[in-house]
Amino acid sequence: MTGTPPLDGMRVVELSSFVATPLGGMTLAQLGADVIRVDQIGGGPDIDRWPLAPSGRSLYWAGLNKGKRSVTVDLRSREGRELVAGLVAESGVVLTNAPPRQGLTCEELKAVRPDLVHVRLQGTRDGGNAVDYTVNAAMGFPLVTGPPGQETPVNHALPAWDVACGLYMAVGLLAAERHRLRTGEGQCLRVALYDVALATAGNLGHLAEAQLTRARPRLGNHLFGDFGRDFATADGRVMVAVLTARHWRDLVEATGVGEVAAALERAFGADFREAGDRYAYRDALGGVLGPWFSSRTCDQVGETLAKTSVLWSRYRDFAEVAAALHDEPLMGRLDQPGIGVHLAPGSPLRLGDASMPPVPAPTLGEHTDEVLRDVLSLSADRIAALRDAGTIR
């Protein structure tokens, strides 16, 4: 990225683990903030979380901490917590999902930094424990995921609530920072994983639908409320989605099923320009379109549909995606210490023509001395004494 990044000059102390909070911190770091991740000596509970590189290092940890600085402190000791409180006093911004520790609560930290912006992730609004997997189970989505007739729940492989929560945390932090710039007032902001999932289910209409009509049934790979589904091809499988009358017209013309589709309209008294009718008769329409897809390869399907407005994609596994990363402008060559050279994503945010390439994650505790020296102005002798006492490493 050329020029000054938008969050240049902002320093954030992050006390975190797992997905949501590290993702929120990394999002800020990719925009130019100096994000200092503080961990217990030896690392937090996510330090060796799978997937692992051949070296045994966590690809998960490295992937969610790109561009940050790392400090390790004995958070169980009073002196260690005082060091962290000092970092907070100098930075004025905290992002955390760590268990509350004496001396590091928002209220205690505001005593030394009254304009503190403190963003805390909770499991539930009342402070109870929850993780993506339990929140998802409580929210209904596993019971509408999977094929019709499936009796047991089907969990989604993507930790969607963690991802959404991490981005909410970043947005909330920036909103609180803007409020501080305008008024001089700090904020103790809390985000609950359960609330983010509940809000999303409500915003997408799932909860109102269940209250006013009925709970949504399982649909397999069908698109609810319009025509969308997967089709087998001669060499794979594709997903096709129709969301507008134009999409439908183009799909009918491209596949040559116009006469049959018109006959179905007359037989059913339907109008397939309407989303509701396309959805109601999705099985019949799928039966009509299926032979066109099954008689063609994915490349042939793509060559035809690329000339239309129809939304489609071939199904790929992660290995296929990884094999094509050299063609992705988001990806950059990253030499991650302890893991090696691989292609990794930069920020998906694009500021004009500027790109934000990936920056390696720190090794655990890599910047402890540097941060204590530059941020807290500790002398070399003082840092050495802290190390000898086991307070830092």
So what's the pLDDT on residue 298?
Answer: 98
Cα–Cα nearest to 64, from 6, 7, 21: 21
**Domain finish residue from 298, 314, 330:** 314
Q: Is residue 182 part of a domain?
A: yes
Q: Are both 32 and 135 inside the same structural domain?
A: yes
Instruction: State both tokens at 43.
Output: 């690392």
Residue 72, domain CATH: 3.40.50.10540
Contact 173, 117 (CB under 8 A): yes
Q: Is residue 285 part of a domain?
A: yes
Q: Are both 157 and 286 inside the same structural domain?
A: no
Question: How far is Cα 74 from Cα 88, in angstroms, rounded to an integer?
Answer: 16
Q: Are both 278 and 162 inside the same structural domain?
A: no
Q: Is residue 330 part of a domain?
A: no
The order of strands in the sheet holding 311-314 is 227-232, 237-242, 311-314
Q: Are both 112 and 22 inside the same structural domain?
A: yes
Q: Is residue 280 part of a domain?
A: yes
Helix (H, G, I), strand (E, B) or coil at 69: strand
Query: Consecutive 10-residue runs of the chain (393 residues): their mean pLDDT?
Result: 86 98 98 98 97 97 98 98 98 96 97 97 96 97 95 95 98 98 97 98 97 93 98 98 98 98 98 98 98 98 98 98 96 96 96 86 98 98 98 95
Q: Are both 61 and 190 inside the same structural domain?
A: yes
So what's the pLDDT on residue 353?
Answer: 78
Q: Are both 310 and 354 inside the same structural domain?
A: no
Q: What one-character DSSP code corresponds to residue 49?
A: P
Q: Is residue 382 part of a domain?
A: yes
What DSSP line would sit under 307-337, residue for residue?
A: TSS-EEEE---HHHHHHTGGG-TTEEEEEET
Q: Is residue 230 part of a domain?
A: no
So what's the pLDDT on residue 2?
Answer: 62
Q: Is residue 335 part of a domain?
A: no
pTM, 2 dp: 0.95
Contact 332, 346 (CB under 8 A): yes
Q: Are both 181 and 266 inside the same structural domain?
A: no
So what's the pLDDT on residue 352?
Answer: 83
Helix (H, G, I), strand (E, B) or coil at 2: coil
Name the active-site residue from 34, 162, 195, 226: 162
Question: How far is Cα 254 from Cα 231, in angstroms, rounded to an integer?
Answer: 15
Expressed as residue numbers, the domain containing 166 is: 11-202+342-388
Q: Are both 166 and 90 inside the same structural domain?
A: yes
Tokens 């403190």 belong to 118
Partners of 312 in the β-ladder = 240
Q: Are both 310 and 346 inside the same structural domain?
A: no
Q: Is residue 210 part of a domain?
A: no
Identity of the amino acid at 86 = G
So what's the pLDDT on residue 160?
Answer: 97
What DSSP line would sit under 190-234, residue for residue?
A: EEEHHHHHHHHHHHTTHHHHHHHT-PPPP-TTPPTTSEEEEEE-S
What DSSP line would sit under 94-162, residue for residue?
A: EEE-SPP-TT-SHHHHHHH-TT-EEEEEESSTTS----HHHHHHHHTGGGTSSSTT--S----SS-HHH
Q: Are both 245 and 382 inside the same structural domain?
A: no
Identity of the amino acid at 328 = E
Q: For the chain, what is the domain count?
A: 2
Q: Are both 163 and 244 inside the same structural domain?
A: no
Q: Are both 303 and 179 inside the same structural domain?
A: no
Q: Is 162 a catalytic residue?
A: yes
Residue 340 phi/psi, 5-degree rounding, is: 115, -175
